[in-house]
Chain A
Amino acid sequence: MNLLWLQGLTCSGNTQSFLCAENPSADEVLGMFEVLFCPFSSWEVDMEEVILKLLRRREELNVLILEGAVGGSDHRVCKRSFAEVVRELSRRADYVIALGNCAVFGNIPAKYDQEVKGLQYRFKQMGGVLGRDFRSRSGLPVINLSGCPAHPSWLSYVLLQILSQRKIELDELGRPKELYAYLTHHGCIRNEYFEWKVEAEELGKKEGCLFYYFGCKGPMTHSSCNRILWNGLSSKTRVGMPCVGCTEYDFPREGMLETRHLMGIPDELPLGVSKRGYILISGIAKTFAPERLKKRLMDEDSKETAQQD
């Protein structure tokens, strides 16, 4: 199977993210394909020549990966607008993968420019550059790997599924269910604090949940960040950084590191939780929260002595 990896309006973060892949690593995954062009490994071939050859139907295209959003018309490749090239190649490909939030939803560059789009979406709106009814030759719509950036294993997963011809089930936004049915919240080590409504009032502490004051979007963000850990060992919320919801269509939202409230209730509630339910449960949880959650996990004195030894 061959593979073509193109970049539109991007920070190259998905490329960089993929280079961090482990088990399998980037070279191991791509080693299973015939790579026609890829921004980090092609050194002998000229991207425009490769594209031209495909456009002239001299070769079949199996997998097209697009990283980055697609802009208006000034960006030209092979003397055509980039959007046109992407449309043409997508039609010709067996599988089309939108890698990262820019390629999926338009993301940051689309906020600035109305004409910028993702492949099959522009934020919430279906359509994108390819149109709402687009299907690649395999019959699948664009396989959306949202995230800013997408986790390297998410791409590896899709590529390996394609190779082994296994079915990839997609959610209503075109994202593989096996990766995006989870929420960031699942597997967050602060989850017990969330349940008992023990909120972090300060940053820089191991203890407490970041939902109530610091804008954590973990309970409403589809991502497997706390199941498939970043760089093989961590995640934002594990270290104490609120999830900013980078896998969703509305990223980047305004006021990402704060939680807005109306009469003490967060404007946005965990997915599927009603206001009434939230008030009721959080009241009870707070009342019965175990004392141990209100203390530091390790007490300072013992840490200090350990340091001095």
Chain B
Amino acid sequence: MKIQRKLLNRIEGEVELKLLWDSGRIKDAFVCAPNYRGFEKLLVGRPYLDAVVITPRICGICGHAHLMASVEAIEDAYRKAGFKVELSDKAQRIRKLTLTCEFLQNHLRWFYLYLMPDIIKLEPNLRELYEPLKGSVWTEALKASNLPVKVIALFGGQWPHTSYAVPGGVVCDPTGWELVQAEFLLRKLKEFFEERLLGMTFENYLSLKGEEYLEKLGGDMRVFCEVAIDHGLHEAGASYDRFLSGGNFLPGVTSGVLSENGKKFSFEVSKVSENEDFSFFSKRKEAYTWSKAARYEGLPYETGPLARQLMSGNEIIKNLYGKYGSSVLVRVLARLDEGAKLLKEALVLLSGIKLNEPSWIKPPLETKNFSGKGVGVIEASRGTLIHEIEINQGKIKSYNVITPTVWNLGPRDGKYLGVVERAVVGMASELKAEIVVRSFDVCSVCTSH
């Protein structure tokens, strides 16, 4: 048996893939996150508002999602302790808008910057377009990915790493100037979607129906689909076919749990647990990663755009899933389709912001003496993100973070392989196995935090 060790280190931090080959196929796979930074421990003993400054630093790609989870966990603690926390419609819209923009940034960068370079390995003639730093589409896509980031900056001051959302609302007080700018930026992003990604107008894209969807696709989505189907990526990459989404924040992003026999349940955070058996925390010699394994009712679940879209009743994705299962093809399309729909939602959110409402409504409590417990469950672009906080006399007593990649890239437990591990077992090509891993949106930095 051949043992192969492989570092995946494009953009998302280092993930080590250990593959055990037997007769030309992957017999077993280990996803290892080699670095650990100790966020949860660092937070203990600090004033609890520090969490909104520190937790975004868990991840440079989806730090904004951490900010939102953190703020919601604190607000939940207030409410559970009997305090009324009000948020104006304006503050809610702005928070949702900036989080949506982080999704847009992530989806674009993920597709063009992280995934397409693997695709040009399969089809070298596409190199001219998608080669990192040099390809004409790559550079254009990079610039387009900065448009939603600028929208976050208009309300949050900067991206990455702002803490502009605080319990009770947001700190910004935008004027029409910010709204006009944001709208302009989103419209430019829409143009990029139409000209490059979708290869057709938004209206045409949104009118595509189940059967004809794949044939009618245009733009870079079509390029990807053709290569994917030519190389069998429509048949590779299935894992447990159990999906989960925790956050409920827009029409296209709903929560729920989907079992392997197609039954839907509502998501209950109390059913989430973490297993440490194969993580270094256990100090066992079998341990191989700093990541824990997240489980729902004791079972591994896939999270991310595909999970969300299946939960949200997205007909196109449901159809594709029916036909091709949870393959690389469907996983990628779920993400891109979500991107297109979220962009539309972003414009709706923006147009509804009423400037005369308050941005921040001071919560009615003295922070120094506050004690309580709360949980914030939201969707980050990569999937379900959970923050749990316990506060004692104004100080953090304990803090726990379960990131999207802990669901997908976490290790095995006594019974089940991790979601990604399971997805690559049986594969015969190293490159395709890597593409399968990447289709889950690898991020080692948030896997071990």
> CA of A262 to CA of B113 in the docked complex: distance in angstroms?
51
Interface size class of B (residues with CB under 8 A): 35 or more
Which A residues touch B9, using CB under 8 A?
7, 39, 47
Which B residues touch A13, using CB under 8 A?
57, 59-60, 63, 160-161
Report yes or no: A26 in contact with B445, Cβ–Cβ below 8 A: no
Stretch at the interface among B131-139, B325-333, B343-351: B131-139
Give 1 or 0 for each of B342-383: 1 = CB within 8 Å of chain A CB. 000000000000111011101000000000000000000000
Q: Would you list 17 pairs from A and B whose C-beta atoms are within 8 A, ordered by A residue?
A: A10-B445, A11-B445, A20-B146, A27-B139, A27-B142, A43-B132, A47-B7, A76-B34, A112-B39, A202-B360, A206-B173, A230-B153, A231-B159, A232-B150, A233-B181, A256-B53, A304-B356
CB within 8 Å of B: which A16-56 residues: 16-17, 19-20, 22, 25-27, 30-31, 35, 39-44, 46-48
A298 (CB) vs chain B CBs: closest residue: B175
CB within 8 Å of A: which B147-195 residues: 149-150, 152-164, 166, 168-173, 175-176, 181
Report yes or no: A12 in contact with B153, Cβ–Cβ below 8 A: no
Report yes or no: B10 in contact with A39, Cβ–Cβ below 8 A: yes
Interface residue from A108, A149, A235 paired with B60 (Cβ < 8 Å): A149
Interface flag for B11 (CB, 8 Å) = yes
Report yes or no: B132 in contact with A240, Cβ–Cβ below 8 A: no
Q: Sort A-B residue pairs by CB-CB distance and give the 4 closest, nearest first.
A: A13-B60, A204-B360, A112-B38, A204-B359
Interface residue from A39, A205, A240 paired with B11 (Cβ < 8 Å): A39
Which B residues touch A165, using CB under 8 A?
none
> CA of A109 to CA of B175 in the docked complex: distance in angstroms?
38
Which A residues touch B145, using CB under 8 A?
19
Report yes or no: A235 in contact with B10, Cβ–Cβ below 8 A: no
Report yes or no: A303 in contact with B356, Cβ–Cβ below 8 A: yes
> CA of A202 to CA of B363 in the docked complex: distance in angstroms?
11
Interface flag for B2 (CB, 8 Å) = no
Residues of B within 8 A of A (CB): 7, 9-14, 34-35, 37-39, 41-42, 46-47, 49-50, 52-54, 57-61, 63, 91, 109, 113, 117-118, 120-121, 131-134, 138-139, 142-143, 145-146, 149-150, 152-164, 166, 168-173, 175-176, 181, 354-356, 358-360, 362, 443, 445
Report yes or no: B57 in contact with A231, Cβ–Cβ below 8 A: no
Q: A234-B157, A235-B157 are in contact. Are A40 and B146 (CB under 8 A)?
A: no
Report yes or no: B12 in contact with A12, Cβ–Cβ below 8 A: yes
> CA of A258 to CA of B50 in the docked complex: distance in angstroms?
10
Interface flag for A219 (CB, 8 Å) = no
Which A residues touch B143, using CB under 8 A?
25
Report yes or no: A43 in contact with B118, Cβ–Cβ below 8 A: yes
Which A residues touch B159, using CB under 8 A?
20, 230-231
Which B residues touch A238, using CB under 8 A?
157
Report yes or no: A108 in contact with B171, Cβ–Cβ below 8 A: no
Taking the nearest CB of chain B, how far is it from the CB of A256, in angstroms?
5
Which A residues touch B120, using CB under 8 A?
43
Interface flag for A203 (CB, 8 Å) = yes
Report yes or no: B157 in contact with A204, Cβ–Cβ below 8 A: no
Which A residues touch B7, using CB under 8 A?
46-48
Given contacts A75-B35, A202-B360, 13 further A-B contacts (CB under 8 A): A11-B63, A12-B59, A15-B60, A26-B133, A26-B142, A27-B138, A41-B133, A42-B132, A108-B42, A109-B38, A148-B57, A149-B60, A230-B157
Which A residues touch B49, using CB under 8 A?
255-258
